Amino acid sequence: MFELLSKGQKNRIISASNMKSYRERHGIFVVEGLKCVKEAVNSDYKIELIAVVESFIIRHATFLDEIKSKGIVIYKVSDIDFDKLSTTETPQGIIAVIKKRDSNLSELVKEEILKGNPMYIALEEVRDPGNVGTIIRTADAAEAQGVILSKGCADPYNPKTVRSTMGSLFHVKIVQVDDFIDTLKKLKEKGIKLYTADVKANKNYYDLDLTIPFALVLGNESKGISEELIKISDELIKIPMSKHTDSLNVAVAASVIVFEAVRQRRIQLPCK
């Protein structure tokens, strides 16, 4: 048997889904869908509650038994009420409230990490939740050590961002910082090169040695990168394109450059 979700719990889910201030004040966020909830259950994040509809209980009894075995409380909710809780067009019938767990810069630059030839992705005011979520997913796929977000970036705990990560949010260290430039300077002090994507750069991304420790820095979708960032970057890099296209989506650009680094690291040879 499953307890019924209370009115207060429903309001908590709705508020956490729709208001960043509520998520920050209570230190929680909402995850929807089977894959993302599975990733949360199998991670070391603390789960406050999980709510499901009757049809989900019938289809996924084994998974729900696994959740119960971990001591996580599961609640039942009607289809009508679930539609009010969901932020997706085609709800899968499962939703969870998770405790936030932000990382800090010191976790990304531990001695053992620095010895392992780290790669980071740093975002300056990337505002679209879908882009931020896709970049987090790319970081996970490429085994990057972390994603650094400046003030003004989309909230990584926004439901759209969370969905776009496809569960990678639970595998990647995410650091949100107030002073982006100062944070990048601290990375440089640790011997990490700053390679900043800029459509006006002269150097192609594949002409760099990406086998060394580096942070790929990407800027705002429309404004690009700031002058301050240009000044502290070790290299400005671009993706060469046809004359008919002046830029790529920021998440696509991140994937292209990061997976050139993966290629170089696998063969231990920069492209020249």
For residue 38, the model assigns a pLDDT of 96
Give the E-state strand segments of 139-205 in sequence order: 146-149, 174-176, 193-197, 203-204
- The rounded radius of gyration (Å) of the Cα atoms in the chain is 20
Average pLDDT of each block of 10 consecutive residues along the chain (272 residues)?
A: 91 97 97 96 95 95 94 94 94 96 90 92 97 98 97 96 96 96 97 95 94 97 93 96 84 97 84 54
Note the pLDDT of residue 68. Answer: 93
CB 229 within 8 A of CB 219: yes
What is the rounded distance in angstroms from the CA atom of residue 10 to the CA atom of residue 82? Answer: 9
Say whether pTM exceeds 0.85: yes
CA neighbours closer than 13 Å in the CB half-sphere of residue 107: 13
Q: In what order do the strands lie in the sheet with 3-4?
A: 3-4, 74-76, 47-52, 94-99, 28-32
The H-or-E segment that residue 259 falls in is helix 250-267
Ranges of beta strands (E only) in 100-239 are 119-123, 146-149, 174-176, 193-197, 203-204, 214-218, 235-238
Q: What is the DSSP letter of 207?
A: G
As to burial, measured by CB atoms within 10 angstroms (0-12 exposed, 13-18 middle, 19+ buried), residue 243 is: exposed
| pLDDT recorded at residue 268 | 72
Angle between helices 61-69 and 34-41 (to 10 degrees): 30
Closest to 240 (Cα-Cα) out of 216, 204, 214: 204
Q: What are phi and psi of 112, to 5 degrees?
A: -65, -30
Provide the 3-class DSSP secondary structure of residue 178.
Answer: coil
Distance of alpha carbon 191 from the chain centroid: 24
User: What is the identity of the amino acid at 243?
Assistant: K
